[in-house]
Amino acid sequence: MADTMNALVTGANKGIGFAIARQLGARGYRIWLGCRDEPRGRQAAEQLTANGITAQPIVLDVTSDESVDAAAKVLSARIEALDVLVNNAGMHFGFTPPTAEEPLDQMATMFEVNALGAVRVTQAFLPLLRRAETARIVMMSSGLGSISATLDMTSENWTVPMAGYCASKAALNMYAAKFAKDLAPDGIKVNVADPGLTATDLTGGMGDRTPEEAARVAVTLATLGPLGPTAGFYHGIELNDDLTRHEW
């Protein structure tokens, strides 16, 4: 096994992704920042490097087969194994009309990024993940992807529209469960993280937690020991390193 543990975080040049990268880097991982925009990726890597973290950008557009395959080839030539993959890249179009009026093209775009993008990246990097002794995959989802909460009149989800975004995250949860079942024989743990409503560019500054706080649940799942869980959906509301299960 290589002495240095490697972690790839998609959508890592800002927000929660950057915070995840910083926290994993502080734990000794060599960080690979998967970013669509190469200059922004370089800038983020320079910030981490200035804080004593080994970090390098890698161009990666989760919606493009060519981009993802190229990134996997580049990383395969540079490292022996990938220990952690955090599928963090995601997007939405803000608050939307009711489901009957929400544009289908916007729904399709969100599925391509939020759900299929994570599948595309995971499939491409599985050969590297299988070379690691204890690989971990984290899917960054949302409490809005919980069907149980959506149907609960006492939940804050009850009044949220955004059907396309919610459905894309629910689909991501199912893909994570399927990956967890498939990869269990390889010793690869796959879990889903809900960071909670966080003040980032994606939320327009809404949220009562910082990216650093929101990142903690993902970092906990990315660094699970051999007895840690797999195929779970967890949130970090308590803002500690314990895991609390979410309702699917």
CATH number at residue 35: 3.40.50.720
Per-residue pLDDT of 197-225, as tens digits, reads 765 656 555 557 889 999 999 999 999 99
Per-residue pLDDT of 57-68, as tens digits, reads 999 999 999 999
Whether residue 144 contacts residue 92, with contact meaning beta carbons closer than 8 Å, is answered with: no
User: Is residue 238 assigned to a domain?
Assistant: yes
Q: Can you give the pLDDT at residue 243? A: 85
User: Is residue 129 assigned to a domain?
Assistant: yes
User: Is residue 198 assigned to a domain?
Assistant: yes
User: Is residue 167 assigned to a domain?
Assistant: yes
In this prediction, residues 32-37 reach a mean pLDDT of 97
Q: Can you give the pLDDT at residue 179? A: 98
User: Is residue 122 assigned to a domain?
Assistant: yes
User: Is residue 110 assigned to a domain?
Assistant: yes
pTM: 0.94
Q: Can you give the pLDDT at residue 238? A: 59
Q: Can you give the pLDDT at residue 1? A: 41
User: Is residue 234 assigned to a domain?
Assistant: yes
Question: How far is residue 115's CA from residue 131's CA, in Å, rounded to a whole number?
Answer: 25
Counting the structural domains of the chain, the total is 1
User: Is residue 1 assigned to a domain?
Assistant: no
Query: Domain range for residue 58?
Result: 6-245
Q: Can you give the pLDDT at residue 209? A: 83
Share of the chain above pLDDT 90, in %: 85
Q: Which of 89, 176, 88, 183 is nearest to 129 (CA)?
A: 183
Per-residue pLDDT of 170-197, as tens digits, reads 999 999 999 999 999 999 999 999 998 7
| Least confident residue range of 3-7, 55-59, 89-93, 115-119 | 3-7
Q: Which residues are catalytic?
A: 165, 169
Q: Which of 198, 217, 216 is nearest to 207 (CA)?
A: 198
